[in-house]
Amino acid sequence: MTQLALVIDLNVCVGCHACVTSCKEWNTSGWAGPLTDLRPYGEDPTGTFFNRVQTYEAGVFPHTETYHFPKSCLHCEDPPCVPVCPTGASYKREDNGVVLVDYDKCIGCKYCSWACPYGAREIDEKQRVMKKCTLCIDRITDMSLPESERKPACVLACPTSARLFGDVHDSDSEVSVAIREQGGYALQPEWGTKPANHYLPRRKTRIQIHEDELVRADNPLKKELLPSLPEGGETLDDVAW
């Protein structure tokens, strides 16, 4: 059976949120939308997202590291959200393994969110139904699109190609090769849900920073140390363009 999934390379994810905004843009007006926003501006903004990027800081200056961790539904092969749904709204497609929610059947009881160990489900506060990543099912199954565009919006938008998409059951697919050759792993396999999405680990790099490199020549707080212009000399303010 085909099992479509994302493979995310944590080594090249720069946390730019292009995946977040492209997901929001495509799915707000698509099959799975709208993705409601409440109080989008100002303090305490809330809204519905299929994909979020969590950023962590580790270490002590100057030996610090920043980690970006994109997170969405993992489209588990044995999804615990499906059997707990009392109305059958949560289901897994047999043809491609994508886990979806039928909004017409969902009653917003949140059983699926309690069953999901990854916190991938969100309730739309306006529609009162549970929502989650669909792998852009309306896009990847649209045969009118060129094959190169039948990918989730987040994959197409990623500027560093940190996201791969394909069939993890096909040993020759790009995603399977990446998992095999780069040590890809599933998130929290001990839960027994067999997440289809995988992550490629960060490769450790070491940077030697010398103390003098921590002082910026253009630091505005050190203006007094910059060479002064000769008195009466011409500056850019004196040039007529």
The low-confidence residues of the chain, meaning pLDDT below 70, are 215-241
Task: Round to whole Å and give the CA distance between 76 and 70.
Answer: 16
Residue 151: give its domain's CATH number: 3.30.70.20
In a domain, 80, yes or no: no
Concatenated DSSP letters of 84-120: T-SSS-EEE-TTT--EEE-TTT-----HHHHH-TT--
Task: Round to whole Å and give the CA distance between 188 and 195.
Answer: 8
* Among 73, 111, 109, residue whose Cα is nearest residue 92: 73
Residue showing tokens 């490769």: 203
Q: What is the pLDDT of residues 24-83, one digit of tens each?
A: 999 998 888 899 888 878 788 788 999 999 999 988 887 888 899 999 999 999 999 999
Return the ∠ at Cα 104 (arms to 99 and 105), rounded to 5°.
70
In a domain, 212, yes or no: no
Query: What single-letter amino acid sits at 69?
Result: F
In a domain, 42, yes or no: yes
User: In this predicted structure, what is the pLDDT of residue 228?
Assistant: 66
Q: What is the pTM of this model?
A: 0.82
Distances (CA, A) of 96 to 4, 76, 88, 135: 6, 12, 18, 11
User: In this predicted structure, what is the pLDDT of residue 216?
Assistant: 65
Kindly report whether the peptide bond that precedes residue 34 is cis, defined as omega within 30 degrees of 0: yes
In a domain, 239, yes or no: no
User: In this predicted structure, what is the pLDDT of residue 112?
Assistant: 96
In a domain, 185, yes or no: yes
Domain that holds residue 167: 4-73+133-200
Distances (CA, A) of 170 to 58, 109, 115, 137, 143: 37, 36, 29, 19, 20
Contacts of 237 (CB under 8 A, 6+ apart): none
Task: Round to whole Å and give the CA distance between 117 and 191.
Answer: 8
Task: Round to whole Å and give the CA distance between 107 and 96.
Answer: 25
In a domain, 168, yes or no: yes
In a domain, 94, yes or no: no
User: In this predicted structure, what is the pLDDT of residue 203?
Assistant: 85
User: In this predicted structure, what is the pLDDT of residue 41?
Assistant: 81
Query: What single-letter amino acid sits at 118?
Result: Y
User: In this predicted structure, what is the pLDDT of residue 22?
Assistant: 95
In a domain, 19, yes or no: yes
Count structural domains, the chain.
1
